[in-house]
Amino acid sequence: MKEYHSISDLESVLNKKTIEKIAIQAIDLTPVEDKILQHKFKSCLFLGCKMSEPLWQHLQSDNFIFPVMEAPYDVYPSQLYTKETLYNNYNFQKSKTYNQTLDKLVYDHYIKTGKQACSIKETLMRRLHDHSITDAIEDFLENFEPKKVVAIMGGHGLSRTDASYRQVAEISRDLTEKGYLMVSGGGPGAMEATHLGAWLAGRSDRSLSTAIKILSTAPLYNDKAWLATAFEVLKKYPKSKYQSLGIPTWLYGHEPPTPFATHIAKYFANSVREDGLLTIAKGGVIFSPGSAGTMQEIFQDITQNHYLSFGYASPMIFLNKEYWSYQRPVYPVIELMSLRGDLKNLDLGLYDTNEEVIDHIERFK
């Protein structure tokens, strides 16, 4: 079913008398109602389109019409979010302006209506929103080879002053320059480092050092100036030739999404978000140090690879030998189970250096 997200796109099919099996998403149809009334639409999908009562009567018998629903968020987003849309009205020199951003208003609504909302209307709206976000991701990824999409997982608590933060940023930068789309959970810590590296791809080590120096004045995501310093870096380096995809969630809405991601797929349902993130990373997943959330993602990724859920297994690369062998000793267990055949199809790597990580990703491609 072909999708149409603007009036100009829709007008390209209004030369047919009967229009069948198309999806029209979040368009104000009132400017072209006269034209639409001259056509027969059959088995078409209308998602959150503004229309008059006469037009609704004209369309409702042979089509599927999902009405506009009132919410602080777009129930049928046709595109991914960006820093401009999520952080609209934000002035990094006035921290309180964050309270007027779309991101904060949606989070406040999410908390007010309940993380597990009791209203069937609210739960339906959230599901419809997340479905549209997944659809927007699929549209975005049509521009990339599947094996050129690589994710980096890691802890949200990683300080901007930690050596691991810079290492993640360097790996992401170097892979971005090699044509990979870098993906993460879109939050702070290792996730932010992923998108900082992608944003600064094509720039010098000195630029990365300067950016991290600015960021280091607010090392942790709960520091008051965490978001402001990120926008300060963006002011210094306002343009990037490269793209990256952050996939955060309002479940962890107290952790602001990183504005270094050029495209942001923010979800209500964390389970859909986590599984989907691992699913699209067909070029491999790099696991930097992290705690319970990262370990959960490790075993989710094992399941997808063991069962070849999407046709083939992708690399699972563990960054920091000491951490994954002793502090969080999951790697020896996974490696042992893989060697004796309890887990199948795993492509494992355990490394300390950027070069080893990148070489493994490149070999797989």
DSSP state of 46: E
Which of 66, 82, 107 represents a domain boundary (last residue)?
Answer: 66
Same domain, 44 and 159: no
Same domain, 147 and 37: no
Same domain, 29 and 153: no
What is the structure's pLDDT at 12? 87
Same domain, 246 and 151: yes
CB-based burial, 220-229: b 16+ in 10 Å, e otherwise: ebeeeebbbb
Range of the domain at 31: 2-66
Which of 26, 43, 66 represents a domain boundary (last residue)?
Answer: 66
Q: In what order do the strands lie in the sheet with 64-66?
A: 2-4, 22-25, 45-47, 64-66
pTM of the full structure? 0.95
Q: What residues in the chain have per-residue pLDDT under 50?
A: none
Query: Quick one: tokens of 302?
Result: 């094992």
What is the structure's pLDDT at 354? 98
Domain assignment present for 77? no
CA terminus-to-terminus distance, the chain: 31
Q: What's 178's domain CATH number? A: 3.40.50.450
Same domain, 58 and 142: no
For helices 226-236 and 190-199, what crossing angle results, to 10°?
Answer: 10
DSSP state of 16: S
> For residue range 88-121, what is the model confidence (pLDDT) as tens digits?
999 999 999 999 999 999 999 999 999 999 999 9
Distance of CA 104 to the CA centre of its chain: 17
What is the structure's pLDDT at 230? 98
What is the structure's pLDDT at 16? 86
Query: Quick one: tokens of 268?
Result: 């209500």
What is the structure's pLDDT at 144? 97
What is the structure's pLDDT at 20? 95
Task: Tell me how far apart the alpha carbons of residues 235 and 181 are, in angstroms, rounded to a whole number.
Answer: 23
> For residue range 157-207, what is the model confidence (pLDDT) as tens digits?
999 999 999 999 999 999 999 999 999 999 999 999 999 999 999 999 999
Domain assignment present for 155? yes
